Amino acid sequence: ERNLFSLRELEINEINSLLNRAMAFKNGEVSHFPDRIVGNLFFEPSTRTHQSFIMAEKKMGMQNMDLFPEGSSLKKGESLYDTAKTYEAIGADALVIRSKEDKYYEALRGKLSIPVLNGGDGSGDHPTQSLLDLLTIREEFGSFEGLKVLIAGDISHSRVAHSNMEVMERLGMKVYQSAPEIFQEKKRTYHDMDEIIGEMDIVMMLRVQHERHEVKSVVDCESYNRDYGMNEKRISLMKPSAILMHPAPVNRGWEVTDEVVECEKSRIMRQMRNGVYVRMAVLERALAEGNS
């Protein structure tokens, strides 16, 4: 399988192989794919995922063809499927796609001769974000088994949370959730952050996804942070060895206050850096000869 739609479709040994390759790239290994051309199709805004895929493509000697939705035939009503088929027809070797539609990739499954890498689908999955989170955790703690992670905030709208909860549990981590009622999903158990934060190895804050709801009309930034966010007071409750993570972009002040975004416990910048190596690993998997 050369597509990467969701980590749910990968065995744990495949996930570990991708993390091993990402770490090898971080340690200086090179893997070149000259003349390969990747189409980066971002139908939703992105800075980190889009630019770190471009960086990964450049580091691997690839070229890229980026879609600018505003100037494309999407404006004439062309579908994602027909856009992807166009990229295939004109010679792209792989596609990276982000869409606001959950599971947009089901419309492409089995219908393209080139691999598709999911750069995030609605509130569904964000497999490369999850891989870079796992790489950051493995770098910090050496392994996953038994680690306690608190995932906190806008859980119901978060593809990062959905991808991470599933794979972290498969890796033997203990996953806890904390969220205001408006962001809770029925199937999970929720904890008061202050009651459990001192036991956690990792506290992963989530972005309040203002573009997907109107939470601002019912709660202000200060109250949200006081009740559900990360700040100097909560950082002081964390174990000495514990780390703070966030996929970014960060709504400074809402889920994380300005003064702790770059504090000593924060791994937010490292997460972004690791994103390049993880995306090199998934591009290699997609384009290596012999992978079918």
Binding residues are 48-49, 76, 98, 126, 129, 159, 207, 248-249
Provide the minimum distance between the beta carbon of 185 and ligand CP in the complex, in angstroms, as a whole number.
Answer: 20
Using the contact rule CB under 6 A, the part of the chain among 29-37, 72-80, 197-205, 245-253 near ligand CP is 245-253
Binding flag, residue 130, ligand CP (CB under 6 A): no
Is residue 283 within 8 Å of residue 56, measured between CB atoms? yes
Torsions phi, psi for 38 (to 5 deg): -105, 135
Among 1, 11, 29, 47, binds ligand CP (CB under 6 A): 47
Q: Between 22 and 248, whose beta carbon lies closer to ligand CP?
A: 248
**26-33, Cβ contacts within 8 angstroms, sequence gap of 24 or more:** 26/274, 26/277, 30/59, 30/60, 31/60, 31/280, 31/284, 32/60, 32/61, 33/60, 33/61, 33/62, 33/283, 33/284, 33/287
CA dihedral 258, 261, 263, 267 (to 10 degrees): 180
Structure tokens that stand for 207 in this block: 């972005």
Provide the minimum distance between the beta carbon of 254 and ligand CP in the complex, in angstroms, as a whole number.
Answer: 16
Provide the minimum distance between the beta carbon of 49 and ligand CP in the complex, in angstroms, as a whole number.
Answer: 3
Among 168, 248, 281, 282, binds ligand CP (CB under 6 A): 248
Provide the minimum distance between the beta carbon of 98 and ligand CP in the complex, in angstroms, as a whole number.
Answer: 7
Among 118, 123, 129, 156, binds ligand CP (CB under 6 A): 129
Is residue 161 within 8 Å of residue 205, measured between CB atoms? no
Q: Which residues bind ligand CP (CB under 6 A)?
A: 46-50, 120, 129, 247-249
